[in-house]
Structure 1
Amino acid sequence: MTSLFDPIQAGDLHLANRIAMAPLTRNRSPQAVPRNITATYYAQRASAGLLITEGTAISAQGQGYSDVPGLYGSDQLDGWKKVTQAVHARGGKIVTQLWHVGRVSHSLLQPGRAAPVAPSAVQANAKTYVVDPETGRGEFMHTCTPRALTAEELPDIVHTYAAAARNAVRSAGFDGVEIHGANGYLLDQFLKDGANRRTDDYGGGIARRARLMLEVTRAVADAIGGGRVGLRLSPVTPANDIHDSNPQPLFEHLARQLAPLSLAYIHVIEGATGGPREVEGRPFDYAAFKAAYRDAGGRGAWMVNNGYDRDMALQAVASGHADMVAFGRAFISNPDLVERLRRNAPLNEWDRPTFYGGGEKGYIDYPAMAD
């Protein structure tokens, strides 16, 4: 029987166990540059089979929160190179999450204080974290009304994703990338009819709404090889005011189109991100979603996420429901989470006020178990 602690081959990634650290925004990268404490933070958690970094902006336009890292400048790539070297020195594997937030942004964070961009000019009923440049204080502010991207702009968006992936692997030393296609950000906005009101080739029916996500995924796979690429999806989460009127056929179509790309893994958020695993009024058959991918020839590892504890994770892998399980907040306060899960040891409590912004406190000062 397969165990959570067994190694796994996910595409080109040979992983020591089936536990992943989920992407966790921490807002500790001023000027979008990872700092030395970022290298310490990830290296402390390198016993995970796979580390997935916090969402990392593919461009200045793609930024939606203050002090999140990027992949589009040399200082940013140099900062990330220190991170990957520190993780590799501990024997870990690390991929970065490619992020364009789309409408989940504020004009204060956009180049020239422009409006954020989106598939349609539909404002998200959501908030984003903005640091006042005068006071240095951060607060959550309502997102701004976006402008709709033109069809002529979309090839450049695709190109920017691919360029960020190349930068990540070739310049920063990442083992691969995860495309952020979840939680109401740009690709998810195009995918779901709650945010996509377009009438061109990127809006309307299922195939058209899925087009940008598939174009981006193919371009990234072409750039660095599909075996180094993961994709994160969230079929029914209401995060950032996103929804779709009929997600089951939408995601099964997407699964069938993704199958031939030989991706390393598919990362599925089950339920509401960081919330209940069953979303009222939004039923979804995750087994059918996975079956659509497998039946179409998809062989990437199937990673699940959201609210998993030790017993649930062990059962998910042993039963074949999943190949891997990603843990989020538990990794914040438990740098040695893998060993704690292996021993069934108690977990440290996290300090919620230190989640976003700040320095070492609540970031690199959580204790590991005594040997």
Structure 2
Amino acid sequence: MDSLFTPVRVGRYTLPNRLVMAPMTRSRAGFDGTPGELATEYYAQRAGVGLIVTEGTQPSDDAQGYLTTPGIYTPAQIAGWRKITSAVHDKGGHIFIQLMHAGRMSHPDNTPHHRQGVAPSAIAPGTGMFTATGMQDIPTPRALTAEEVRQTVADFRHAARSAIEAGADGIEIHGANAYLVQQFFAPSANTRTDEYGGPIENRARFAIAVATAIAEEIGADRTAIRLSPGTAMWGIDEGAEGPDLYRHLVAELDKLGLAYLHIMHQGNEPLLADIRTLWHQSLILNRPGRPHDQIGADLASGSADLEAYGQLVLANPDFVVRLKANAAMNEADQNTFFGGAARGYVDYPALSA
């Protein structure tokens, strides 16, 4: 485990350790998408990890899926994030803002303009979503035109520039967990017949275009992407070609020289080994539910350069201190994950307390 606490170069930054706070939606922003007042304290408390990746943050009105998630495309949102990034930097930390377009995983009641969600194709995910009036079925989305796909790429570019203006060290593109980028990958969500549908090269095109645009805007060494190969949730089925799509995608993204690739691992070990070979920059690996005694195993085996943890960092603001001391960890309170105020957000006790 000692190797977790050694410095590592990621993009243009040297991080003090190889531990990453995984992105986690907390649904505590204002209705205008401005980060909540407690978010500054929340992220600053966790600045001891080598890198913080923030909760998914929408790059436009159309991109919002859930209630009270933050954005990074208006002056008020930029000002709100600037408080957070300054507080993290004051603690010696590094922070990448994750850009997340929910695509069809959206409900009109949760968005500023109350419009129908957008997606590669007009196919509903077949699940519900929490809104201010309770759970509702997610309606069928509207299929993006080719011009709207290109405008969505431009929205990501603008949001990335806004994140840098807000003081972020970089951005991570959310290409995982059944949201818009992954919806383009999956034949169950993408039945297009234009340049964004059909063969794996076409289904990977949107993700590559977003990464290319952002790298051009803020620098490849401040641009990263998160993928979750094999995710099967909310109607996502990548089919038999899924592994080959990811091999193609990772090889193309590798040419851009991005800061890192963040894999949420779903268990396909041969594919993970291929990705490790194809990718020549930093690789962050997140294994959901990994037991405490396996922390550091992927670094030790050479499977990854950094390891990302979600609930452990959520519940333990001094996660690195506790690991070094081999101390017990606080348990995460799942009842306070989404929405609310301080409880379950900024009141988890540190070891010193």
CA 1:176–1:11: 2 relative to 1, 3 Å: same
What's the CA shift for 1:2?
Answer: 7.5
- The aligned counterpart of 2:153 is 158
- The aligned counterpart of 1:362 is 344
Q: Where do residues 30-45 of structure 1 align in structure 2 (5 Å cutoff)? A: 30-31=30-31, 32-45=33-46
SS at structure 1 position matched to 2:121: coil
Letter in 1 for 2:272: Y
Asked if structure 1 preserves the Cα contact closer than 8 Å seen for 2:34 and 2:80, the reply is yes
Q: Structure 2 stretches of 5 or more lacking a match?
A: none
Separation of aligned partners in 2, 1:321 and 1:304: 11
- The aligned counterpart of 2:220 is 226
Asked if structure 2 preserves the Cα contact closer than 8 Å seen for 1:262 and 1:300, the reply is no
TM-score of the aligned structures, taking structure 1 as reference length: 0.91
Separation of aligned partners in 2, 1:161 and 1:199: 24
What's the CA shift for 1:26?
Answer: 0.5
- Determine whether 1:285 maps to 2:280: no
Q: 2:141 aligns with which of 142, 146, 166?
A: 146
Separation of aligned partners in 1, 2:149 and 2:109: 23
- The aligned counterpart of 1:315 is 297
- The aligned counterpart of 2:315 is 333
Asked if structure 2 preserves the Cα contact closer than 8 Å seen for 1:13 and 1:264, the reply is no
SS at structure 2 position matched to 1:339: helix
Q: Where do residues 191-206 of structure 1 align in structure 2 (5 Å cutoff)? A: 191-206=185-200
- The aligned counterpart of 1:10 is 10
Q: 2:170 aligns with which of 173, 176, 183?
A: 176
- The aligned counterpart of 2:237 is 243
Moved more, 209-218 or 190-199: 190-199
What's the CA shift for 1:230?
Answer: 1.2
Separation of aligned partners in 2, 1:207 and 1:80: 35
Q: Where do residues 245-260 of structure 1 align in structure 2 (5 Å cutoff)? A: 245-246=239-240, 247-260=242-255
Moved more, 211-220 or 336-345: 336-345
SS at structure 2 position matched to 1:95: strand
Asked if structure 1 preserves the Cα contact closer than 8 Å seen for 2:224 and 2:258, the reply is yes
User: Alpha-carbon deviations, 1:39-89, whole Å to 9, x = none?
Assistant: 000000000100000000000110000100001111111111000011001
Letter in 2 for 1:29: A
SS at structure 1 position matched to 2:296: helix
What's the CA shift for 1:127?
Answer: 2.9
Separation of aligned partners in 1, 2:325 and 2:16: 17
Separation of aligned partners in 1, 2:52 and 2:289: 18
Separation of aligned partners in 2, 1:270 and 1:141: 30
- The aligned counterpart of 1:85 is 86
User: Alpha-carbon deviations, 1:292-319, whole Å to 9, x = none?
Assistant: 33xxxx3233433422334323121011
Q: Where do residues 128-143 of structure 1 align in structure 2 (5 Å cutoff)? A: 128-132=129-133, 139-143=134-138
Separation of aligned partners in 1, 2:309 and 2:222: 20
Separation of aligned partners in 2, 1:283 and 1:344: 29
CA 1:343–1:239: 2 relative to 1, 3 Å: farther
Separation of aligned partners in 1, 2:261 and 2:292: 21
What's the CA shift for 1:284?
Answer: 5.8
What's the CA shift for 1:236?
Answer: 1.0
Moved more, 139-148 or 34-43: 139-148
What's the CA shift for 1:331?
Answer: 1.3
Asked if structure 2 preserves the Cα contact closer than 8 Å seen for 1:264 and 1:300, the reply is yes
Moved more, 41-50 or 104-113: 104-113
Letter in 1 for 2:115: A
- Determine whether 1:54 maps to 2:55: yes
- Determine whether 1:266 maps to 2:261: yes
Letter in 2 for 1:309: P
Q: Structure 1 stretches of 5 or more lacking a match?
A: 133-138, 272-277
RMSD: 1.6
- The aligned counterpart of 2:19 is 19
- The aligned counterpart of 1:351 is 333
Separation of aligned partners in 2, 1:324 and 1:362: 26
Asked if structure 2 preserves the Cα contact closer than 8 Å seen for 1:69 and 1:76, the reply is yes
Which consecutive segments of 4 or more residues in structure 1 shift more than 6 A? none
Q: Identity across aligned pairs (percent)?
A: 43
What's the CA shift for 1:111?
Answer: 4.8
CA 1:316–1:239: 2 relative to 1, 3 Å: same
Moved more, 359-368 or 32-41: 32-41
